[in-house]
Amino acid sequence: MALNPLNSLHLSIRQTQFQLKKLLPVLIGLLTLLTVLGIGQFQVLGQQQNTITIDFATQRTGISSMSGFLYGKNATQPPDNMIKPLQPKLWRTSQLDLYSRVIGFGAEFQLILSDTWGYGRPRGWPYDNYTKWEDHVRQVARRNKDKVILWDVWNEPDLRDPFWKGTREQFFETYKRAYQVLRQELGPNVMIGGPSLAKYDQNFITAFLNYCKDNNLEVNFLSWHELNDQDITSIAGRINNARRSFQQNPNYQSLKIQKIYVNEIIGPTAQYRPAEILGYLYYTELGRADGAAKACWDPENKGSGTNNCFNNSLDGLVTPDQSLPRAAWWVYKSYADGFNSRVVSQPDNPKIVALASRANGEQKAQILLGYFEQAFSAPTAGVTLVLKNLQQLNLPNTSGNLTFRIQRIPNSGEQVVKELVTLRQDNIPVNNQVVRLTIPNLQLHEAYLLSIG
């Protein structure tokens, strides 16, 4: 049984102005609350205390949602009511017949052009017959002139097995041939990009962009994948490196790099782990990518079914048969609920992160937090949330008391999670102060949803 992270909940309130008449009722109320909760005074042995500071007065601006998917559905499954709450903004696929459904969710449609061609069989490789490759690209373009598509030329050309058997230079030529045909058929405004590498490789990208510059090609969006589940905390740094080195570099101005997509995130060991999923969303959003798509992998029991790309499980977020939610679905839903009112959160431990928002769908402030693994990680960790400027939330409750409720998003793999379990719910007075909420037993791989209202 997992430890209840609120068994030793600590709440303390510090007045910003020491006025006895205002302070006294707060202290009385707090004393009552601590008595009800049965606060203990003992620390967990060997456990490092961590802090996340959240300022509800400082909204994050200029960010894009990282809710997006790779394949994961057909024309009807999962049903709309399981997808709409996730508010997807990017869908990466080759299923052109599902274009209307994707656009209907408000997502950009990113076409994996190489998937429409295949990898080796039956057509061979583009470098075997470039004319044949050009003809294929032309046919796909002409059939889809009426669609707004992000044209992703080739998937993972740095991964020899199974996506590319040729040389790097042959991939560059393949991109050039596709680019020229797409420009001829679709005009100057269509978005064409890549190289959609399996990982961020600055040397590969530099060589690719230099080739494009020398051959008068554009790369309207830059893309690669982040799938290393033991290196989640470095994602924002790599995005920032790409922005400085390429997008903002005057040497590449002619390429017209408009956007950066991390068009596959979350590796195989993290695909169901709520805290790791949150870590990917947090650091990709922190790096200010323009979009991301959840990768898909084989189910836990590889002999039990089809890859999560192609079993209509929304990349593993729901069950393939009945589209019932798993824990991972709740992470994406909570992420989407709070995106439009995101505020600044600053952790002092990169493995314990929180995404905080002024209002979710229920008009409550919320904090989505989790503790994920990177290198060695203890099974539990303590964290203190320092909540600043709660009085500026303009929540419906005007009496000065706010309800704090924390729910657990368990590390339960492919199990169905029909609803989140509430671990604790309490009312506390809030009036011109900082609230400190200490949770001493965050479970590794789990996420928690704190709502305030």
- Assess contact for 439 and 9: CB atoms under 8 A: yes
DSSP-derived 3-state class of residue 335: helix
- Assess contact for 181 and 220: CB atoms under 8 A: no
Per-residue pLDDT at 49: 81
Asked if omega into 440 is within 30° of 0 (cis), the reply is no
For residues 397-414, give the mean pLDDT: 87
Pairing of strands 342-347, 380-388: unpaired
DSSP string, 22-45: HHHHHHHHHHHHHHHHT---PPPT
What average pLDDT is seen over the chain? 89
Predicted confidence (pLDDT) per residue in 224-281, tens digit: 999 999 999 999 999 999 999 999 999 999 999 999 999 999 999 999 999 999 999 9
Q: Which amino acid is it at 246?
A: F
Look up the pTM and report it.
0.90
Pairing of strands 342-347, 433-443: unpaired
Tokens of 411: 């590390």
Pairing of strands 49-59, 342-347: antiparallel
Tokens of 378: 């203890």
Per-residue pLDDT at 396: 66
Task: Place 44 in a pLDDT band, splitting at 50, 70 and 90.
Answer: very low
Predicted confidence (pLDDT) per residue in 281-306, tens digit: 999 999 999 999 999 999 987 766 78
For residues 150-171, give the mean pLDDT: 97
Of 3, 2, 6, residue with least CA distance to 405: 6
Task: Place 391 in a pLDDT band, splitting at 50, 70 and 90.
Answer: confident
Asked if omega into 410 is within 30° of 0 (cis), the reply is no
Neighbouring C-beta atoms of residue 205, cutoff 10 Å: 22
Query: Of 4-13, 310-319, 384-393, 434-443, where does mean pLDDT reach its minimum?
Result: 4-13
Q: Of all residues in the chain, what percent carry a pLDDT higher than 90?
A: 79
DSSP-derived 3-state class of residue 49: strand
Helix, strand and coil content of the chain, in percent to the nearest 5, comes to 30, 30, 40
**Ramachandran area for residue 158 (φ above 0: left; ψ -120 to 50: alpha; else beta):** alpha
Task: Place 9 in a pLDDT band, splitting at 50, 70 and 90.
Answer: very low
Task: Place 440 in a pLDDT band, splitting at 50, 70 and 90.
Answer: confident
Per-residue pLDDT at 303: 67
Output the CA torsion 93→234→331→361 (10° steps): -90
Tokens of 414: 């492919």
For residues 110-133, give the mean pLDDT: 97
- Assess contact for 363 and 395: CB atoms under 8 A: yes
Domains and CATH numbers, the chain: 10-61+342-452 (2.60.40.1180), 68-339 (3.20.20.80)
The sign of the CA dihedral 155, 158, 163, 164 is positive
CA end-to-end span of the chain, whole Å? 29
Per-residue pLDDT at 47: 54
CA-to-CA distance for 191 and 141, rounded, in angstroms?
A: 12
Neighbouring C-beta atoms of residue 268, cutoff 10 Å: 13
